[in-house]
Amino acid sequence: MRNMRTLIFVLTISISSVQAQDAKFTEVWRPEPRTVLPGKSPSDAPADAIVLLNGNDLSQWENVSDKKTIKWRSGDNAMTVIKGGGNIQTKQSFGDCQLHIEWRTPAEVKASGQNRGNSGIFFMSRYELQVLDSYGNRTYSNGQAGSIYKQHIPLVNASKAPGEWQTYDVIFTAPRFNADSSVKSPARITVFQNGILVQNNVEIIGSTSNVGIAHYIPHPEKLPLMLQDHGDEVSFRNVWVREL
């Protein structure tokens, strides 16, 4: 019996040695990744994206307050906040996603700090990626452009000058909740601003709050994407999302 165990051990080592020298042993052929046709440029929507804004068609959006037609201005292939128009949201809901969105703060600077080109992109209507004119405009670091508002300071200030179009490319992972409403896994987010990494898979600590510490409140697996009316004429264009 002892000799048999020794023989099996030697054969196992021999087979492992042969496999280690065979390149095909580490080749994986299934599953095969599906094909997605990329856009013609990095900002163009890939074939499997849901286009939320491309041109002047605002049909994918609605007012948050009454779910009716939005009151923002449309033109020049973009939509622009009209002060008092209210926050807007997508008619479709999303959870885990890849988002591309382009935004522009007013070229004419009239204020400073949080009153200069302020808006926000709210994932699942509650987790805010800050939009702000942060070009030579000092404010609290966890409230500048590229921040997860009052939670995470951006790695760098990648802002362009007022009036220039800027981009966010985002990977967002939605939170998961247990049956008892406790947090199973928190939301996470990675953000590139103008092609520069500003948030590296950071953990969101809860729903965005301007006052007090953020915390989680259980919610559905998918919710609308929301854009904020903070009173400044911030514009958005070329918005698309891929569900992950």
**Residue 152, in any domain of the structure:** yes
* Domains held by the chain: number: 1
Q: Which domain holds residue 120?
A: 47-243
Mean of pLDDT over the chain = 93
Question: Is residue 26 a part of any domain in this protein?
Answer: no
Does residue 98 sit within a domain? yes
Residue at 3 is within a domain: no
Comparing 21 with 59, the larger pLDDT belongs to: 59
Q: Is 58 a domain residue?
A: yes
Let me know if residue 18 belongs to a domain.
Answer: no
Residues β-bridged to residue 239: 53
Residues contacting 156, CB < 8 A, separation 6+: 146, 196, 198
Average pLDDT over residues 206-223: 96
Whole-number Cα distances in Å, 137 to 25, 80, 131, 163, 183: 57, 22, 13, 14, 36
pLDDT at 43: 83
Domain-located, residue 237: yes
CATH assignment at residue 183:
2.60.120.560
